[in-house]
Structure 1
Amino acid sequence: MLAKSSRVIELPFFPFSFELLTLVSTPKGYKIFTLCTKFSSNQAFVYDSVVHSWTEHDGYQPLLFENFHQEGAFYDGSLCFTTPEPFSVVCFDLGTGKWGNLNVEMPRELTFVRLVSGVSDRKKLYMLGGIGRNGISRSMRLWELKEGKKWEEIERLPELMCRKFVSVCYHNYEHVYCFWHRGMICVCCHTWPEILYYKVERRSWHWLPKCPWLPDKWSCGFRWFSFVPQLHALA
């Protein structure tokens, strides 16, 4: 927008039903990843802005995610996703188009998990998750992947803030999604107008209050995203 550059990207075919749409910046442009739900095998498609074309790749079975608000987390050249229970992490290599597993032991008693990649070079991978039983989260914790070998717990959400968050999403974690924005891990609920965020350097949790221009009663969902302008970026 600031560079006054735009492009209309044609879809591979019509109709094109897609999920897990993720945009990744690259040194020479960007790539767009998505899974097409038209096929039973969930074919993966990647758009490369350098060659202005789509490539088709094998999908992943079973279904990756029950949460369609969450994007993939870019880490070490791959997009990382979590599977439904039993929770695990799978990776799609944007260079080769191949799927693989992140062979790291997951924490116990997880009720939900979300991934988010940190810092501008995407060399850190964080995981936010609920801890509890029978689908009820008693606490929320944040882990960082250390050397690609283990999840190390780095922070816990204070009890009062945890109670508020799980109450506003009614323990329906399909509505929960995360993203990175300028040193902060933002945790959102599709049905709630506030954002819970964690400042990584200060190691502190905060609430971003509701926009004052929103009406008290709002029946639509909320979709938040990070916008960091790049003055010289081209479409």
Structure 2
Amino acid sequence: MAAACAWDALPEHLQERILSLLPLTALLPVAATSRALRRILRSPAFHALLSPHRLDAFFLLSPRLAFHPLSRLVLPMPQVGSPPIVSSASPSHLVTADSLLRLPPLPASSYLLAVVVPISSSSSCREYTLVAVTTGADVRSYTLDSADTSPRWAPRGELPLPFALLGNAAVAGDRRQLFVLGRGPDALLVFDLATGHWGVLPVAMPHGLTTAHLFVFGGRLFLVGGVERFGVVERVLVWRLEDSEVAAEWTEVGAMLEEVFDELVAGRHGSFWHFQAADRMGIVCLYNAVDGSLVMFDAADGEWTRLSRVAGLDAEESRQWFGHVMEPCVELLLGRRCWG
């Protein structure tokens, strides 16, 4: 009772501020505790305080399973009426069947590289920019703005160099640029969403890099990947891009613990190419599709976490779905099912 009285004594605007610091998924049971709390959580003033919470995302492992970093559990994927819009920067042919049905088909010989959701996008807004690139020696790029009355794929710039393949794309915090890994040769590419121009940043990539993944956290660009020697992955490191007056360089900021590494590779170091990665707000998941090993890295504290193995997930499911991240929208507090 004393605790309840202390909470009730707080001005409503302070109650709103405190509650806005909680992940949306943690607020759902709070809404069921009292009418007063439910009224606050459903008010437009409270919704205006909410921002994406780094522990709120569900990392999709398959159409059936998702990893939830807040609970550290692999859970049944939240049931929704139709596939959600997924703001994922990972290359994939599958983004959302529901949203892409309304849009022109991808240009010939191209695949989707990134989905960029603007910072100003509200929970009820579904505007986004799609970035697609072609395969082959001469890589061309296209963008599509879903806010256009007649959306179309607009040709943009060509890559300045030929690459064997492209890795994942990381969206800059201001949503103006994409950072993309070029492989064969290794390079860090940058794509300007406004001008459509591509460039190669003058930074040497780590030696022996394999299965690398870019991500942005706190306005900084990070890289996580294996270090390979003589065809064997010996360790997994995390680097951060540091800018100096002389030149930019990758600085090692963390290494996967040996016991976590052993869990991830499961004695098959050569199978590291089977690993997949996904990230959201500094939380990165690495998944070994061969035997269901799953580990998590949190850039906020530099900690690695071993997670329960994922059972009953076939290679086709993993290839199509992992890399996407689903986040709840405030409509859930209104008793509606909505994911962004």
TM-score greater than 0.5 by the shorter chain = yes
Q: Is the 8 A contact 1:139 1:157 kept in 2?
A: yes
Cα deviation code 1:8-30 (max 9, x no counterpart): 212155xx343353111113531
Matched, 1:21 2:113: yes
Residue number in structure 2 paired with 1:33: 131
Decide whether the 8 Å contact of 2:239 with 2:253 is kept in 1: yes
Which sits farther off after the overlay, 39-48 or 87-96? 39-48
Q: Given the alignment, which residue of 277, 284, 307 partners 1:185?
A: 284
Aligned partner of residue 143 in structure 1, secondary structure: strand
Kindly provide the amino acid, as one letter, of the partner of residue 162 in structure 2. P
Structure 2 residue 104 is matched with structure 1 residue 10: yes
Change beyond 3 A, Cα 1:195–1:59? farther
Q: How does 1:129-208 map to 2 (within 5 A)?
A: 129-147=225-243, 149-167=248-266, 170-208=269-307
- Structure 1 residue 155: Cα displacement: 0.7
Partner of 1:46: 143
The 3 A distance-change label for structure 1 pair 64 and 78 is: farther
Distance 1:111 1:220, change over 3 A: closer
Structure 1 stretches of 4+ with a deviation exceeding 6 A read 232-235
Q: In the alignment, which of 193, 218, 221 is matched to residue 125 of structure 1?
A: 221
Structure number with higher helix proportion? 2
Greater radius of gyration (CA) = 2
Aligned-pair identity in percent equals 20
Contact persistence 1:195–1:207 (CA under 8 A): yes
Partner amino acid for 1:140?
A: V
Cα distance in 1 between the residues matched to 2:153 and 2:329: 24
Unpaired stretches in structure 1, ≥5 consecutive residues? none
C-alpha distance in 2 between matches for 1:36 and 1:175? 23
1:173 Cα deviation from its structure 2 partner: 4.2
Q: How many residues align?
A: 223
TM-score, scaled relative to structure 2: 0.56
Q: Alpha carbons of 1:188 and 1:43: their partners in 2 closer, same or farther (altered >3 Å)?
A: same
**Cα distance between partner residues in 2 of 1:231 and 1:64:** 42
SS of corresponding position for 1:63: coil
Equivalent position amino acid for 1:130 in 2: G
The residue that corresponds to 2:165 in the other structure is: 65
Cα deviation, 1:187-216, whole Å, max 9, x if unaligned, reads 2234443321112223211123234xx43x
TM-score, normalised to structure 1, is: 0.78
- SS at 2:158's partner residue? coil
Residue 157 of structure 1 deviates from its aligned partner by 0.4
What is the DSSP-based 3-state SS (H/G/I as helix, E as strand, rest coil) of the residue aligned with 1:72? strand
